[in-house]
Structure 1
Amino acid sequence: MAHKWRGGARALSVEGMIELRDLTKRYGEKTAVDGLSFTVRPGIVTGFLGPNGAGKSTTMRMVLGLDTPTHGSVRIDGEPYNHMREPLHSIGALLEAKGVHPGRTAYNHLLCMAQSNGIPERRVGEVLEMVGLQDVARKRPKGFSLGMGQRLGIAGALLGDPRILMFDEPVNGLDPEGIHWIRTLMQHLAREGRTVFVSSHLMSEMAQTAQHLVVIGQGRLLADTTMSQFIAENSRTRVRIRTPEPERMQDVLVAEGLRPVAGHEGSLEVEGGDAARIGELAASHGLVLHELSPQRASLEEAFMRLTAQSVEYHAFAPSDGPDSGGPAGPGGPGEPGGQAPQPGGPAAPPGRPSQPAWGQSWKKGRER
């Protein structure tokens, strides 16, 4: 298929989509991806989220034909990746930034990719300048920092000026300027009408970048929705109130059937309350308000709530003991069936063996 280049950019003529239908991948008895079906559409940045071991990388590898599905299919512009004659014109991807021949310079690495897909050599210089590596173009990537390796991988993804971009942890190793740059780049590409599919564990960054989310856990689809809907459906909203008369305010709220609880710095918090209605109640009772603000959950809170049962690897945080003031998790103090912390360390989660206090094991070893 012939491609027309205009000033280093190929005109976008066909909207690109990634379509997964009942995609499944098994390794022996382990199912890494289990019947995934969703579509990644153009014009928006779609975030791909899931805990470690959820199957995100395996899914992306199957999109690029690097792993063969056990069942189901994945299509790029209506055909499998391995049916494309010059795939870099349709989809560019960053999966492993260090996947570079150590003996080639950055320029020659990209030149080999360009020649294999019928891309003009001048495009190599353009993408190196775009990612800020023009000054190290003739150096070997084996001496590159992690951030520089990421930039080279992104240059490779952009090389064919594709309709579809797919990035796995693109901000890994980048400094704040680099993170801002790749975020801006992905949003710009989406505004051009391209399809941008990005996986990341940095929830705060994803919240600023993506407009749509696909969330998986243990290989299964958990959510396929907009960012705003995802947060609204998987979190609890609350209203924070600060007043010089918190006791009176609490009595008014309780009389209305609301259940205020103590918040930070003497505030009250009402879960599921309506800020406008609470303001009207305060006014009707002559109560002065210093703050009346809806508190919305972050993407991280919503993600943790949805995927709590899908986390494959659990770690235990250190604790200073019963008076550390840390929040109690499910099954912890204050929860039905929760266990109080035992002297010397936190209680073990239900069904798990008790853990020694932080540092206790090696201290005992030294005492011996």
Structure 2
Amino acid sequence: MIELRALTKHFGEKVAVDHLTFTVRPGIVTGFLGPNGAGKSTTMRMMLGLDRPTAGDVRIDGKHYADLHDPLTNIGALLEAKAWHPGRSAYHHLLCLAQSNRIPAQRVHEVLDTVGLTSVAKKRTKGFSLGMGQRLGIAAALLGDPRVLLFDEPVNGLDPEGIHWIRNLMKGLAAQGRTVFVSSHLMSEMALTADHLVVIGQGRLLADTSMAEFIARNSRAFVRIRTPQPEALRDALHTAGINAVASADGTFEVCDAQAAQLGELAAEHRIVLHELSPQRASLEEAFMRLTAETVEYHAHDGEPPPEQDRPAWGEGWRQGRGA
């Protein structure tokens, strides 16, 4: 379990994380969403002790990260791709991590097999593709067989088979009773993976709820109707007091009636329907509606590309370690 209580982080005058309070519970996959610059990466870094909070508290199974003995056996994390020495092989990268955390060498072979890198285990990582790097990072996160796992953009660089694999892996880990916390910008993938959502914007908590409830609260559902008799349908809907919006593709969208009701209305007026389909609200639409006022960077406003929500490596290291 991961517990955040009023977690806050300032970088100079910038407030990256603003009094975040939520709990990531075991047994489910919790998705972590927010626009660019929302503070997601900084929050995850504070969970791992890489950045020191300005205020507030974060605990892993009741302990601060710094107090964990052999931390890889408690929490595994994938935060950045290619976080290794390029001259080392995949095997020796993992072996170094294992030896520093008193993990048996046999476990290295097990996780390499789990992520599908056994055949390239002895190759130097400098030649790895982004997808192979992601798999190696996931192997490192799994190395200590931890009860808590953090994944930041885990599907980056993966092909469709790899995306399907990591989705099932995360669900399987949660089914074992582990705590799984995953951040991603791919809404379609998050909708298939996460059971619960934590959404932040400008460092503040916007939502902490189940996937179904989040979508229901922040998006609209409608019924799409397509017919070769648009005028007759429009008149029938108007007479019944049902509002319909005509779309550019010639279909109608109805928000205040059920599909069965609309089908019966069309049959009563002998109107032919080519389509009558309830449209499920999407996670992407719900996310866009909720975070619209917290988006810091817009592609159309002529601003320079956004920077990370933390300072450069050297400055972040000094602030995080108090040097």
Please say whether Structure 1 and Structure 2 have the same fold, judged by a TM-score greater than 0.5: yes
CA distance in 2, matches of 1:42, 1:220: 23
Aligned to 2:180: 196
Q: Out of 260, 275, 281, which is 1:291 matched to?
A: 275
The answer on 1:236 being equivalent to 2:226 is: no
1:265, CA displacement in angstroms?
Answer: 4.2
Q: Which ranges in structure 2 are unaligned for 5 or more consecutive residues?
A: 304-323
Q: 262-271 or 225-234, which moves further after superposition?
A: 262-271
Aligned to 1:217: 201
The answer on 1:167 being equivalent to 2:162 is: no
Aligned to 1:137: 121
1:264, CA displacement in angstroms?
Answer: 5.2
Aligned to 1:50: 34
The SS at the match of 1:266 is coil
Question: Would you say the 8 A contact 2:243–2:256 is kept in 1?
Answer: no
> Which is greater in Rg?
1
**Residues 94-142 of structure 1: per-residue CA shift (max 9 Å, x gap):** 0012211233221111111111222111000110111111122122212
Aligned to 1:261: 245
Q: Which amino acid aligns with 2:203?
A: G
Q: 54-63 or 87-96, which moves further after superposition?
A: 87-96
Q: Which amino acid aligns with 1:174?
A: L
CA distance in 2, matches of 1:85, 1:144: 31
Aligned residues: 303
Q: Which ranges in structure 1 are unaligned for 5 or more consecutive residues?
A: 1-16, 317-348, 354-368
Aligned to 2:299: 315
1:37, CA displacement in angstroms?
Answer: 0.7
Question: Would you say the 8 A contact 1:88–1:159 is kept in 2?
Answer: yes
Q: Out of 98, 104, 108, which is 2:82 matched to?
A: 98
Aligned to 1:14: none
Q: 261-270 or 193-202, which moves further after superposition?
A: 261-270
The answer on 1:118 being equivalent to 2:102 is: yes
Aligned to 2:311: none
- What percent identity do the matched residue pairs reach? 73
* TM-score after normalising by structure 1: 0.79
The answer on 1:278 being equivalent to 2:262 is: yes
Aligned-residue CA RMSD (Å): 1.7
CA distance in 2, matches of 1:137, 1:215: 37
Q: 280-289 or 136-145, which moves further after superposition?
A: 280-289
CA distance in 2, matches of 1:42, 1:213: 13
* TM-score after normalising by structure 2: 0.89
Question: Would you say the 8 A contact 1:236–1:272 is kept in 2?
Answer: no
- Per residue, is there more helix in 1 or in 2? 2
Matches within 5 A, 1:3-152: 17-152=1-136
CA distance in 2, matches of 1:253, 1:161: 59
CA distance in 2, matches of 1:106, 1:214: 33
Question: Would you say the 8 A contact 2:131–2:157 is kept in 1?
Answer: yes
Aligned to 2:164: 180
**Residues 158-197 of structure 1: per-residue CA shift (max 9 Å, x gap):** 0011111110011111111111111111111111111111
Q: Which amino acid aligns with 1:59?
A: T
